[in-house]
């Protein structure tokens, strides 16, 4: 079978972009297991056609009534169960079905391609998969087996995939995670800080809208606390709080007696994060007749430092990138990816995907010209590690 990603030498830009487009146009929000599984079906079919081994794990429920998509492990036909190179890619996105037809259609403008999940992280998943398929079809056995794990629930914290990610990392000698490159092509060699999710529940007292003095507006109380949460942001020190979901009330004719908000916290500074979380836990109502309850759920992903083993792996990748024609720079990234799980067990490089920007927004985009160099780097790592 002809290698659809290759121009006969290594990789072809248009072929890679066409494949990215085909993945992006299968919309895969985390909470829609059937949508995610449509992309799993495609990857599984293409992997088998390339000569890879596959193992599909049925989706699980993290909580009753919420099932996530299947997990898929694609492996090279050589190496058996020996320790090897593990690639981790998530194929779920934050964008709901319908985003393609609405705020973020796939389109190409010059050297930029736009689409839901194209940067975070279908672009990276595609180029790693293309590199593995090329290796199987064109190059033959590498020094180590290569296993590519496709995850279906990373954007919601990997609740059903974490165990498998860690299981595969324990038997890996090296791990490459295809989250997108950062700020002009940098990769991630460590992740620090902390994360938390906040749920605010406000209880007031209902009344007719023509007699508001008899009620206590839960929405008004919540609005004050939303402003307080947003004021806690400290971008210079790397503290980010986002109030992403709000709701409350039942009718414009009734003073609302209930309201809620959901927020997230990310921080590069663990001490600052802990102090901020303590402030949220201690929230008091402005109106003494209103009750506010703040529930804090700590992030489940541990941070990790750049170990000597990670530094050695990075230097090897840096040398290969120089041979390809670009400079590879390593940076500390925010906590919050599957690399936080794998780095506890094996040297890990993250941010191996293409360059771009706009993750989780309607401006999500990749730099098209970064596809071939990054795919080539992944291929060279597969060929040389071990």
Query: Domain with 242 in it: what CATH number?
Result: 3.30.70.360
Instruction: Give mean pLDDT, residues 58-71.
Output: 92
Checking if the pLDDT of 87 tops 90, the result is yes
pLDDT category at 270 given cuts 50, 70, 90 is confident
**Looking at the structure, do residues 285 and 357 belong to the same domain, yes or no?**
no
Checking if the pLDDT of 1 tops 70, the result is no
**Looking at the structure, do residues 104 and 235 belong to the same domain, yes or no?**
no
pLDDT category at 250 given cuts 50, 70, 90 is very high
Tokens for 281?
Answer: 């836990």
Burial of 292 (0-12, 13-18, 19+ CB in 10 A): buried
**Looking at the structure, do residues 21 and 107 belong to the same domain, yes or no?**
yes
Least confident of 12-21, 130-139, 312-321: 130-139
Checking if the pLDDT of 42 tops 50, the result is yes
Of 298, 324, 341, the residue that ends a domain is 298
Instruction: Give mean pLDDT, residues 274-289.
Output: 96
Least confident of 81-90, 110-119, 234-243: 234-243
pLDDT computed for residue 193 by the predictor: 62
b/e sequence 208-227, b meaning 16+ C-beta within 10 Å: eeeeeeebbbbbbbbbebbe
> Is residue 67 a part of any domain in this protein?
yes
pLDDT computed for residue 285 by the predictor: 97
> Is residue 5 a part of any domain in this protein?
no
pLDDT category at 64 given cuts 50, 70, 90 is confident
**Looking at the structure, do residues 177 and 288 belong to the same domain, yes or no?**
no
Residue-wise pLDDT tens digits, 122-131: 999 999 999 9
pLDDT computed for residue 140 by the predictor: 72
Residue in 382, 47, 348 with CA at minimum distance from that of residue 179: 348
pLDDT category at 97 given cuts 50, 70, 90 is very high
**Looking at the structure, do residues 19 and 107 belong to the same domain, yes or no?**
yes
pLDDT computed for residue 7 by the predictor: 47
> Is residue 3 a part of any domain in this protein?
no
pLDDT computed for residue 333 by the predictor: 83
In the sheet where 291-298 sits, what is the strand order? 239-248, 258-267, 194-203, 291-298
**Looking at the structure, do residues 109 and 174 belong to the same domain, yes or no?**
yes
Share of the chain above pLDDT 90, in %: 85
> Is residue 125 a part of any domain in this protein?
yes
Domain count, the chain: 2
Residue-wise pLDDT tens digits, 186-226: 999 998 767 889 999 999 999 999 999 999 999 999 999 99
**Looking at the structure, do residues 317 and 272 belong to the same domain, yes or no?**
no
> Is residue 1 a part of any domain in this protein?
no
**Looking at the structure, do residues 170 and 68 belong to the same domain, yes or no?**
yes
> Is residue 4 a part of any domain in this protein?
no
Residue in 261, 5, 266 with CA at minimum distance from that of residue 126: 5
Please name the helix (run of DSSP H) or strand (run of DSSP E) that holds residue 244, with its range, or none: strand 239-248
Residue in 66, 67, 40, 35 with CA at minimum distance from that of residue 55: 40
Instruction: Give mean pLDDT, residues 55-63.
Output: 93
**Looking at the structure, do residues 144 and 73 belong to the same domain, yes or no?**
yes
Checking if the pLDDT of 181 tops 80, the result is yes
Checking if the pLDDT of 152 tops 90, the result is yes
**Structural domain for 217, as ranges:** 194-298
> Is residue 128 a part of any domain in this protein?
yes
- For tokens 């230097």, the residue is 315
pLDDT computed for residue 9 by the predictor: 53
pLDDT computed for residue 8 by the predictor: 45
pLDDT category at 307 given cuts 50, 70, 90 is very high
Residue-wise pLDDT tens digits, 310-343: 999 999 999 999 999 999 999 988 777 899 999 9
**31 contacts 66 by C-beta, under 8 angstroms:** yes
Of 237, 270, 298, the residue that ends a domain is 298
- Assign residue 354 the CATH number of its domain: 3.40.630.10
Instruction: Give mean pLDDT, residues 83-109.
Output: 97
Q: What distances in angstroms separate CA 160 from CA 67, 154, 376, one per listed residue?
A: 9, 9, 31
**Looking at the structure, do residues 45 and 164 belong to the same domain, yes or no?**
yes
**Looking at the structure, do residues 248 and 359 belong to the same domain, yes or no?**
no
**Looking at the structure, do residues 320 and 270 belong to the same domain, yes or no?**
no
Share of the chain above pLDDT 70, in %: 96
pLDDT computed for residue 4 by the predictor: 56
- The residue ranking higher by pLDDT, 201 or 184, is 201
Q: What is the mean pLDDT of the chain?
A: 94
Checking if the pLDDT of 239 tops 60, the result is yes
Tokens for 161?
Answer: 């995939």
> Is residue 220 a part of any domain in this protein?
yes
pLDDT computed for residue 298 by the predictor: 83
Of 276, 298, 320, the residue that ends a domain is 298
């Amino acid at each position: 079978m002809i290698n659809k990603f290759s121009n006969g030498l290594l990789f072809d830009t248009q072929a890679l972009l066409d494949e990215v487009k085909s993945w992006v146009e299968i919309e895969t929000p985390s909470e829609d297991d059937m949508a995610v599984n449509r992309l799993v079906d495609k990857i599984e079919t293409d992997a088998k056609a390339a000569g890879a081994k596959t193992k599909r794990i049925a989706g699980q429920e993290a909580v009753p009534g919420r099932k996530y998509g299947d997990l898929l492990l694609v492996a090279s036909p050589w190496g058996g169960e020996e320790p090897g190179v593990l690639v981790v890619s998530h194929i779920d996105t934050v964008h709901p079905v319908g985003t393609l037809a609405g705020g973020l259609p796939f389109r190409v403008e010059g050297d930029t391609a736009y689409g839901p999940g194209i940067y975070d992280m279908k672009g990276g998943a595609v180029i790693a998969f293309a590199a593995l398929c090329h290796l199987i079809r064109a190059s033959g056995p590498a020094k180590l087996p290569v296993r590519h794990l496709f995850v279906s629930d990373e954007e919601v914290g990997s609740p059903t995939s974490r165990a498998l990610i860690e299981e595969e990392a324990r038997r890996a000698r090296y791990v490459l995670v295809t989250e997108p490159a950062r700020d002009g092509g940098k990769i991630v060699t460590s992740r620090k800080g902390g994360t938390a999710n906040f749920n605010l529940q406000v209880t007031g007292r209902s009344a007719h809208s023509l007699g508001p003095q008899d009620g206590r507006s839960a929405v008004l109380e919540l609005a004050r606390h939303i402003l307080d949460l947003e004021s806690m942001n400290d971008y210079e020190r790397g503290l980010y709080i986002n109030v992403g979901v709000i709701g409350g009330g039942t009718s414009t004719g009734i003073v609302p007696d209930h309201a809620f908000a959901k927020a997230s916290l990310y921080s590069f500074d663990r001490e600052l994060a802990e102090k901020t979380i303590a402030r949220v836990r201690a929230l008091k109502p402005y109106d003494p007749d209103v009750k506010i309850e703040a529930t804090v759920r700590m992030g489940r992903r541990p941070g990790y430092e750049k170990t000597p083993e990670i530094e050695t792996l990075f230097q090897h990748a840096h040398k290969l990138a120089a041979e390809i024609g670009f400079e590879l720079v390593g940076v500390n990234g925010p906590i919050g990816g599957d690399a936080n799980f794998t780095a506890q067990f094996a040297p890990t490089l993250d941010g191996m995907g293409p360059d771009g920007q706009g993750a989780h927004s309607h401006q999500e985009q990749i730099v098209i010209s970064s596809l071939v160099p990054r795919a080539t780097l992944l291929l060279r790592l597969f060929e040389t590690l071990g």
